[in-house]
Structure 1
Amino acid sequence: MMANGDSPTYLNYVRGKWMRSHTGEVEASINPANGREVVGFVQNSALPDLDEAVQAAADAQKAWKRLAGSVRGDYLFKAAAILERRLDEVATAMTKEMGKTFAEAKGETARGIAILRYYAGEGMRPVGDVIPSTDSEALMFTTRVPLGVVGIITPWNFPVAIPLWKMAPALVYGNTVVIKPASETGVTCAKLIKCFEEAGFPPGVINMVTGSGSVIGRGIAEHPGIHGLSFTGSNAVGKTIGQAALARGAKYQLEMGGKNPVIVAADADLNLAVEATISGGLRSTGQKCTATSRVIVHQDVYEPFKQLLLDRIGQIKIGDGMMDDVWMGPCASERQHDTVLAYIRKGIEEGARLLCGGGHPQGRGYAEGYFIEPTIFENVTSDMTIAREEIFGPVLVLMKVESMEQAVQLANDVEFGLSASIFTSNIGAMLGFIQEIDAGLVRINAESAGVELQAPFGGMKHSSSHSREQGRAAIEFFTAVKTVFVKS
C-alpha cells in the first residue's frame, strides 16, 4: 500500500511482494454511498503483470503440492486467525467499497473465517478409495492430485466470501492461485491477501492482480500456464470466459446469474413469507445471485400478502451502510445504479404496475450516493423483461397464479436455475416442488438467498457450468482423480 493524495494506493501481490503494475496506471475505488469519496486506488494492470503472477504460481506449485495436506491446512488456520483479528477493518473496507451494511459486511467476513477453517480441516480428510482388483495379489486405489495453477475471477457483491470459498479449497488441495478481484472491491481483496501474507504462505502460492476484465480476466481464461479457472459473475462474461478456457483445454467452473422465484402458497405463513421475501430480495440491495426476484403468489392470499409486503417495505431505512440504523445501502456503483433504473423504466414501459419505489430517494444524504428505493411491480407477465432478466437490484415483481402447478411452471419459465423457495405447510406441495423445480438450491419456508458453506452450491440451466462449489464438492473441481495399481 502506498499514499496517493489522501487515499491509499494498493499494489498487486506477486511472488510474495507488493508490486506496481507495468502500466503505472491506477483505478479509483469509489464509496457508493458518497460518489465523491475515494476509498483507495488499485492497479490497472496489463498482461505482463499477469504473466509474472502466473510464472510465480507455477514456480511455487511443485513445492506447495508436496506438503502434507495437514500442513497446507495449518496455513489456512493461521490466515483465519489473522482475518478474525482484522474483522472490523475488512468489513469496513467492504461497506465503503461495495455499500452493503456494516452488519452484513461483518457477517460475511465471519463467514470467510469459517470457510478458511472448514477447508483447513480438509487437509486431514480422505482423498481416495481402495478398490478391489481382479488380481488378488495387487492393490488398487485412487488418490487426488491438484490441477496446478488456478485462476480465480471474483465479483464485487461478495468480496470476502466468494474469493475465500474459491481460494481456500484450491490451496488446501495443493494448487497455487492467481486471483483477479473486481476492481470495485480491489481494496477489500488486498486486505484479504495481507492476511495470507502474514500467515506466512510461501512466495508465489497466492498472487493477486487487479485490472479490467477485458484484459486480466480474459488473459486468465486464455493463459496457457493456468490449468483451472473458477469464475463468478454475469452470464455474458462467463460464457466468453468458458469458451476461451474450453478452446485450450483448461478446466473451468462458472457460477453466473439467477432470476430466483419465491412461491407463496394459499396455506403459507404470510408473515414468514413476507419477511423472507424482503430479506432474500432486498438485503445487499438485491445484489446477490441468489436474491429473490420473482414473487409468485396464489390468488387466494395475493392481496393480504401484497399489503403486508408494502407495509413492511415502508419501514426500511435506506442510507450509508456504516450508519447503525440503516437497513439497506446503495447500489455498488454508478453503473449498477443506472442499470437498475433502466430496468425499472422498462417495466413501466412494458405495462407493469409500479406499486412503490422506482427511483432515487429524495432528501438529505442521498444526492451523492447510488441509492435506489425498494421497488415493487405487479401485473407482471412472464414475457416482460423484468420477469426474465437478472436486474441485480432492489426490485421485486409480483405474479398472481391460480394453482401450485401454474406457480411451478411459471417459476421454471426462465433461462436461469440457481435458487428457488416455497412457503407452504403442505408436505405434498413441498415434495412436489423439490421434484419439479429447476434449481440447484431449493429452500422450503426460507428465503431464496443463502447457502451454508459446508453444502454444495451451484445452479442449473444458464446459471452454472453444472459444477458445484463449497463443501466437499469443491474437491471435484480443484483436483483430478489418479487411479493407482500396485503389484509386488
Structure 2
Amino acid sequence: MTENLAKTETETVTVDNYIGGSWRAPASGRRIPSLNPARKGEVVGWVPDSEPADLNEAVAAADAARHAWRKLSGAGRGALLYKAADLLENRAEEIGRAMTREMGKTLGEAKGETIRGAAILRYYAGEGMRPVGDVIPSTDADALMFTTRTPLGVVGVISPWNFPVAIPIWKMAPALIYGNAVVWKPAAETAVTAGLIMACFHEAGFPAGVVNMVIGDGAVIGQGIAEHPGIHAVTFTGSNAVGKRVGQIALARGAKYQLEMGGKNPVIVAEDADLDLAVEATVSGGLRSTGQKCTATSRVIVVQGVYETFKEKLVAKVKELRVGDGLDGETWLGPCASEKQYETVTRYIRKGVEEGAELLIGGGRPDDPALADGFFVTPAVFDRVTPEMTIAKEEIFGPVLALIRARDLEEAIALANDTEYGLSASLYTRDIGNALTFIRETDAGLVRVNAETAGVELQAPFGGMKGSSSHSREQGRAAIEFYTAVKTAFVKP
C-alpha cells in the first residue's frame, strides 16, 4: 500500500482501507475511481467502496485497542503524534501533489495545508503534558476533591474533500492525544490523499487498532458511523443537510456529536476602509481554493459611499487571476473539485442572472482549449444583488462573489446577520469604534477585522453560530471539551 501511492503526476494507484494496523481490501471487492478534476479522464486512484462489514471490523479493532491506549501516558501518546508530524511534513511535496491531482487545489495551497497538518499534530502532541483538571475546595477539611478528564472511547471522524489533510487531522489529533481510538471515514474524492496520511500514522508506530480508516459512500459508511453502537462520539464536517442527519442519528442513540457545517460569510467594507487591502482580502478570502472553503467570503457588503470605487478595483483584480491546473506554478485558481461541484456552481451562476443580478465578470469556462477537459469555471462577480436573491442566501461553495450595497455600517451589519448561517465574518475599517461594534453585534463564531473571512489558526477555538454548527468548538484547547468527559474525584483518608 505505502509503496504504490501517488509517486508521479500521472500514476494511478490503488488504496486500501486501514484496519487494525494493516491495509485491507474492501470486503465487497469493489473500487471506485478518484478522478483528476483538471483532466476528468485521468484516474488518480482506485479506492474502496466499502460495506458495513468493513466498518464493523474497524470498530471492533478500535474497541479492542482503546483500553491499552488510554492507559498510555499523555507523553507517550504525544511522542507518536510528533513522529507522525515529522513524516507528514517530510512528505509535503508528495501529499500536496496527490491532493492537487484529486481535488484541484493549487500545489502551493496543498503543500501549505500539509505542513499545517504537521503543525496541528505537534500542537496536540504537546497537549499530552498540559493540565487536564482542577483542585476544588471541599466542605470536608480532610478530603481532596479534584476534576480530571476521561476519554470517550471510540470516536468516529467524518471529514470532507475540501481540506483533506487539515480537517481530519484537527479532529483525529485531539481525539488521540486525549486517549480515544479513531475510526475515520475520509471523503472518497480525496481517498488517495487520505491513504498517504494514514501511512504516516502507520509508520509512526501507532498501536494496531488505535487509528483506522474506512473509505466508502457517505450513505453507507458515514451513516454507519453515526448509527454504530460501538462508536461513542461522532465529529463531522460537511454540508448542513448531511450534518443534521448525522446529529439526529447520534442524538437518538445517546452518542456525543459535533457538527461543523456551511457558511454564507460576509465581508463588510466601511467607508473609511483601506480599499486596496479590502479588495485583496475579498479576492483571497472568496476565491482561493476555488471558493471551496466553509469560511470563504461569499457576500461582499459595501457601504454606498465607496461602493463604485470598490467594485471597479475588485473587478480589475479578478481579471488578473489565472485559472488552470493546480500543478502549474502559474495557476492562481484551480478547477472545481468534481463534476457535481461544477454543476452546482454553474447552476447558481445561472440562477443569479435569472433573478436579476448583473454578472460583471466570469462565470463561464476559460478560453484556453487546454482546460476544456476539466471542471473549470472563471471567477464570477455579481452586482445589484439583493438580500432575497438565491445567491445571497444559499451556500454556493465556488468562486462566486455577490456585491450588496448598504447605506451605512448599521445596515451592513444587519445584512450580514440576515442569514441562517453564522460561521465567519470580516470588516474592513480604520475606526476602532466600528471594529468594536462589528465584533459585538455580528452573529458569527469567527469575526475578523482587517483580515479575510477565511483564516483559522490552529491554537484558537473554531466553530459557528446558528445553522453553521452544533455550537461546539474545534481546535486549540477547546477541543478537550468534546473529546473527553469531566470526572470529579473525591478522596478521603
Same fold, judged at TM 0.5 (above): yes
Matched, 1:53 2:54: no
The aligned residue for residue 206 of structure 1 is: 211
- Distance between the aligned counterparts of 2:133 and 2:11, measured in 1? 53
Q: Given that residues 338 and 375 in structure 2 are in contact (C-alpha distance below 8 angstroms), is that contact kept between their aligned partners in structure 1?
A: yes
Deviation of the 1:358 alpha carbon? 1.4
Q: Where do 4+ consecutive residues of structure 1 move more than 4 Å?
A: 2-6
- Distance between the aligned counterparts of 1:396 and 1:38, measured in 2? 32
- Distance between the aligned counterparts of 1:441 and 1:107, measured in 2? 22
The aligned residue for residue 254 of structure 1 is: 259
Matched, 1:273 2:300: no
- Distance between the aligned counterparts of 1:112 and 1:301, measured in 2? 39
Deviation of the 1:232 alpha carbon? 0.1
- Distance between the aligned counterparts of 2:11 and 2:89, measured in 1? 28
Matched residue of 1:365: which SS?
helix
The aligned residue for residue 243 of structure 2 is: 238
Match of 1:315 among 317, 320, 326: 320
Q: CA 1:6–1:159 in 2, change beyond 3 Å: closer, same or farther?
A: closer
- Distance between the aligned counterparts of 1:223 and 1:230, measured in 2? 13
Q: CA 1:110–1:6 in 2, change beyond 3 Å: closer, same or farther?
A: closer
AA at the equivalent of 1:298: V
- Distance between the aligned counterparts of 2:256 and 2:108, measured in 1? 36
Matched, 1:133 2:138: yes
The aligned residue for residue 234 of structure 2 is: 229
Matched residue of 2:267: which SS?
strand
The aligned residue for residue 395 of structure 1 is: 400
Deviation of the 1:142 alpha carbon? 0.2
The 5 A counterparts of 1:23-34 are 23-34=28-39
Matched residue of 1:416: which SS?
coil
AA at the equivalent of 2:310: F
The aligned residue for residue 225 of structure 2 is: 220
Q: Given that residues 302 and 403 in structure 2 are in contact (C-alpha distance below 8 angstroms), is that contact kept between their aligned partners in structure 1?
A: yes
Matched residue of 1:411: which SS?
helix
Matched, 1:36 2:41: yes
Matched residue of 2:285: which SS?
helix
Matched residue of 2:455: which SS?
coil
- Distance between the aligned counterparts of 2:331 and 2:368, measured in 1? 15
Q: CA 1:123–1:36 in 2, change beyond 3 Å: closer, same or farther?
A: same
Deviation of the 1:192 alpha carbon? 0.2
- Distance between the aligned counterparts of 1:203 and 1:189, measured in 2? 18
Deviation of the 1:229 alpha carbon? 0.3
AA at the equivalent of 1:381: T
- Distance between the aligned counterparts of 2:166 and 2:142, measured in 1? 48
Matched residue of 2:277: which SS?
helix
- Distance between the aligned counterparts of 1:60 and 1:43, measured in 2? 24
Matched residue of 2:189: which SS?
helix
The aligned residue for residue 69 of structure 1 is: 74
- Distance between the aligned counterparts of 1:84 and 1:231, measured in 2? 25
Matched, 1:376 2:381: yes
Matched, 1:184 2:189: yes
Matched, 1:85 2:90: yes
Matched, 1:451 2:453: no
Deviation of the 1:362 alpha carbon? 2.1
- Distance between the aligned counterparts of 2:390 and 2:11, measured in 1? 43
Matched, 1:123 2:144: no
Matched residue of 2:375: which SS?
coil
Matched, 1:159 2:164: yes
Q: Given that residues 444 and 464 in structure 2 are in contact (C-alpha distance below 8 angstroms), is that contact kept between their aligned partners in structure 1?
A: yes
- Distance between the aligned counterparts of 2:334 and 2:368, measured in 1? 15
TM-score norm. by structure 2 comes to: 0.98
Matched residue of 1:230: which SS?
strand
The aligned residue for residue 110 of structure 1 is: 115
Matched residue of 2:273: which SS?
coil
Structure 1 alignment gaps of length 5 or more: none
Deviation per CA, 1:239-258: give whole Å up to 9, x if none: 00000000000000000000
The aligned residue for residue 95 of structure 1 is: 100
Match of 1:340 among 338, 341, 345: 345
Structure 2 alignment gaps of length 5 or more: none
Deviation per CA, 1:309-329: give whole Å up to 9, x if none: 011111101000000110000
Match of 1:405 among 397, 404, 410: 410
Matched residue of 1:329: which SS?
coil
Instruction: Calculate percent identity across the aligned residue pairs.
Output: 67
Matched, 1:171 2:166: no
The aligned residue for residue 414 of structure 1 is: 419
Matched, 1:425 2:427: no
The aligned residue for residue 199 of structure 2 is: 194
AA at the equivalent of 1:212: D
Q: How many pairs align?
A: 488
Deviation of the 1:6 alpha carbon? 6.1
Deviation per CA, 1:404-444: give whole Å up to 9, x if none: 11000000000000000000011111000000000000000
Q: Given that residues 11 and 44 in structure 2 are in contact (C-alpha distance below 8 angstroms), is that contact kept between their aligned partners in structure 1?
A: no
- Distance between the aligned counterparts of 1:6 and 1:413, measured in 2? 47
Deviation of the 1:364 alpha carbon? 2.2
